[in-house]
Amino acid sequence: MTGWLSDNLASILNGVALGCLLFALAVGLSLVFGVLDVLNLAHGSLFVAGAYAAWRLADDGSLAGFGLAVVLAAGIGGAGGLVLTVATRPLAGRGHLDQALLTLGIALVVTEVVQSWFGRDPHGVLPPLAGSVEIGGGYPIYRLALIGAGLALALAVDQAVERTRVGALVRATVCDPDMVAAMGVNTLLVRSGAFIVGGALAAVAGVLGAPLLGASPHLDAQVLLLALVVVVIGGLGSVRGALLGALLIGQVQSLGIALAPRQAPFLLFGAMAIVLVVRPAGLLGTRAAAA
Amino acid sequence: MSRLLADRSVPGGAYLPRALTAGRSVPVHLLALAVVVWLVALPFGASAYTVGVVGRILAFGLFVASLDFLVGIAGLPSLGHGAFFGIGAYAAALLARDVTAVGPAQLAIAAAIGAAAAGVTGLVTIRSRGIYFVMLTLAIGELARQVADSWTSLTGGANGLAGVPALKLIPGGGSVVIAGHIYWYVLAMTALAFGLLAAVRASAFGQALKGLRDNEDRMRALGYSVTGLKLAALFVAGGFAGLAGSLWLTQLRFVSPADVGFTTSALALLCVVIAGSGSLWGSFVAAAVVIVVRDELGTVIGGRGPLVLGLMFIAVVYLLPRGLAGLVPGGLRPQPQPALGTGVAE
């Protein structure tokens, strides 16, 4: 058992690192759905925007450039979230499919624009923290830092949503937006805020993920798929569910591929199927979120 | 059919679908006849290129109709229907290469496999409702593409399966290679399948599905098995999608993971939205619009098909809200007061 563990330690750690990235992406998707009732299929495009910011500013692995990319990506992601708030506003009350179609159209356009600006080829990005530590035969420091940053982010988001006044407002809006509006709260602010924060998180995840996944125009579909699976497994509108789902899918994508490379797509579907059969609303979702 | 419509005691029964009432008038029949005559006579007058385009529109239109059956009739908004189209195309390609080039046999088996795949994945997806269903079907379609991409020994991987043997009509017969003949085969099979789909829609089963779309809880209270109905709808739609995939392959003789993936599903859903859901006829018109715009316009502005597609999505959502009526369970019905039905089931 310890032999197996040390053999696969790198895969397991990679899975945790990927899980942390997926959490940053999925929590925004989940929040936006919970607060605005919008399924944002352009969420992956914001991730890609962050990845390209990292490539332009920090492809040589400079820490300052990387920090700048994080700040820039947060700005771009926030602005993207604001644009999407405005774009989906006229569709309120017209059903989820319209919003899904609209954001899907936006995602397709963004992919094309990215492709015409930066080209079709994927670009690699060097991690800002070079070197490795003696775990499992040498493990990159950057990925450990990523795990740390991801877990810190998860803790921060969880505390912000569960313990602060603003978080209480967000949770109330998820439960009953009409009642929140009736109590005199400007729900437009809450809605825009959720979309802006969600967008910024997705773009920052793109920067943090660039040293692992690189930057390429069609990355958005890959990460969106994973984020959707995470949200389905974790339960919509639940921060802790998103974390649990992200860590689970991170392992499926890393350890699963290492142990059974051919069956990887089936593993992803299988994990989702099993969770949904046992708990149709996701691991930590409430029935109301699924209805 | 009208008797069945009058009898059903589900909400929405008072609102006869406009397509059904409007379809009774004489000019519509004449128009339909003219279209059929034009379709049959097409190979005599048009270039092989045009015949090819129309043939592809027919196959894709049938696929759109199968999705429309799922979305517009049964109220199950799927973003992964391309999986079953692609599975049908792959099945037909493998059959043609390894077993038989006889078209009708391929059709039957592709339909069976498409239906089976839709049924199996349906066991998972029908446990979800609303937006969960959209997300789940999207994920399943994308996973199907990944399978097509990575199962190289069976599917040829990213290169797909090229050079599929040409169509034969009967065992031991000669290969059909003339574009017009292939087109007639596709036209005949599409007409047959479309008639079958329309019959299913008009049947008691089809009416029950409409009830499911309009009010799932009421149908459950009336004693219908909601799970069984949904599963059957997915099964039927998957079968017709597989059949359409087989017809698509017969013409192109090539299939790749892109045919399985998300873009195919999204394109079909765009057609359903343009058509205004529930009118199976409209599927072919919308398929024609989308395929011509994407292929012709996309070529004109430098191979930017996805860009045109994306802009079409945005334009359709903003400019054709009525075309979207009835897409989501409990969403808008075609009825005089549009605001009433908003978001009831959510």
List chain A residues with CB under 8 Å of B317: 91, 98, 101-102, 105
Pick from B132, B262, B346: which is nearest to A232 by CB?
B132
What pLDDT score was predicted for residue B145? 84
Q: What is the pLDDT of residues B267-325, one digit of tens each?
A: 888 888 887 766 777 888 888 888 887 777 766 666 666 788 788 888 888 887 665 44
Separation of alpha carbons A207 and A170, rounded Å:
26
pLDDT above 60 for A175: yes
CATH number listed for the domain at residues B2-9+19-324: 1.10.3470
- Domain extent listing, chain B: 2-9+19-324
What pLDDT score was predicted for residue B277? 61
List chain A residues with CB under 8 Å of B307: 108-109, 112-113
**CB-defined contacts A:B, below 8 A:** 131
Interchain contact, A272 vs B136, CB within 8 Å = yes
pTM of the model: 0.79
A100 to chain B: closest CA residue:
B134
What pLDDT score was predicted for residue A72? 92
Mutate one of A38, A94, A277 to test the B interface: name it (highest B CB count within 10 A): A94
What pLDDT score was predicted for residue B342? 37
Q: What is the mean pLDDT of residues A85-102?
A: 81
List chain B residues with CB under 8 Å of A265: 143, 146-147, 150
Pick from B132, B146, B332: which is nearest to A290 by CB?
B132
List chain A residues with CB under 8 Å of B131: 33, 39, 96, 100, 236
Interchain contact, A290 vs B327, CB within 8 Å = no
pLDDT above 80 for A4: no
List chain A residues with CB under 8 Å of B148: none
Q: Does B316 touch chain A (CB under 8 A)?
A: yes
Q: What is the pLDDT of residues B20-53, one digit of tens each?
A: 444 455 677 788 788 888 888 888 887 888 888 8
Q: Does B204 touch chain A (CB under 8 A)?
A: no
Nearest chain A Cα distance for residue B344, angstroms: 10
pLDDT above 90 for A100: no
Interchain contact, A93 vs B328, CB within 8 Å = no
Nearest chain A Cα distance for residue B346, angstroms: 6
Say if residues A288 and B132 touch (Cβ distance below 8 Å). Answer: no
Pick from B147, B307, B309: which is nearest to A265 by CB?
B147
Interchain contact, B135 vs A232, CB within 8 Å = yes
What pLDDT score was predicted for residue B243? 93
Identify which has the larger pLDDT, B161 or B190. B190
Separation of alpha carbons A201 and A195, rounded Å:
10
Pick from B129, B143, B273: which is nearest to A101 by CB?
B273
Residues in CB range of A242: below 8 A, 6 or more apart: A23, A26, A27, A30, A230, A231, A234
List chain A residues with CB under 8 Å of B151: 262
Say if residues B285 and B68 touch (Cβ distance below 8 Å). Answer: no
What are the beta bridge partners of residue A123? Answer: A215
Nearest chain B Cα distance for residue A70, angstroms: 28
Q: Which pLDDT band holds residue B334 (cuts at 50, 70, 90)?
A: very low
B78 to chain A: closest CA residue:
A97
3-state secondary structure of B175: strand
3-state secondary structure of A184: coil
pLDDT above 50 for A10: yes
Pick from B130, B135, B317: which is nearest to A91 by CB?
B317
Phi, psi of B255 (to 5 degrees): -140, 140
Identify which has the larger pLDDT, A290 or B211. B211
CA A39 → CA A84, A96, B116, distances in Å? 11, 7, 29
Q: What is the pLDDT of residues B187-237, one digit of tens each?
A: 999 999 999 999 998 898 888 888 888 888 888 888 888 889 999 999 999
Nearest chain B Cα distance for residue A61, angstroms: 32
Q: Which pLDDT band holds residue A1 (cuts at 50, 70, 90)?
A: low
Q: Measured in whole angstroms, how far is the alpha carbon of residue B139 from the centre of its chain? A: 19
Q: Which pLDDT band holds residue B241 (cuts at 50, 70, 90)?
A: very high
Number of H helices, E strands in chain A: 12, 2
What pLDDT score was predicted for residue B299? 66
Share of chain B above pLDDT 90, in %: 18
Q: Does B38 touch chain A (CB under 8 A)?
A: no
Identify which has the larger pLDDT, B300 or A214. A214
Say if residues B175 and B167 touch (Cβ distance below 8 Å). Answer: yes
What pLDDT score was predicted for residue B341? 35
Count the residues in chain B.
Answer: 346
Within A11-137, strands assigned E span 132-133
ipTM higher than 0.85?
no
The secondary structure of B193-227 as a DSSP string is: HHHHHHHHHHSHHHHHHHHHHH-HHHHHHTT--HH
Query: What's the whole-number average pLDDT of chain B?
Result: 78
What pLDDT score was predicted for residue B13? 41
Share of chain B above pLDDT 70, in %: 82
CB-based burial, B212-250: b 16+ in 10 Å, e otherwise = bbbbbeebeeeebeeeebbbbbbbbbbbbbbbbbbbbbb
Interfacial residues of A (vs B; Cβ cutoff 8 Å):
33, 39, 90-91, 93-98, 100-102, 104-109, 111-113, 221, 225, 228-229, 231-232, 236, 262, 264-266, 268-269, 272-273, 276-277, 280, 290-291
Separation of alpha carbons A216 and B135, rounded Å:
23
Separation of alpha carbons B325 and B160, rounded Å:
37
Interchain contact, A228 vs B324, CB within 8 Å = no
pLDDT above 70 for B76: yes
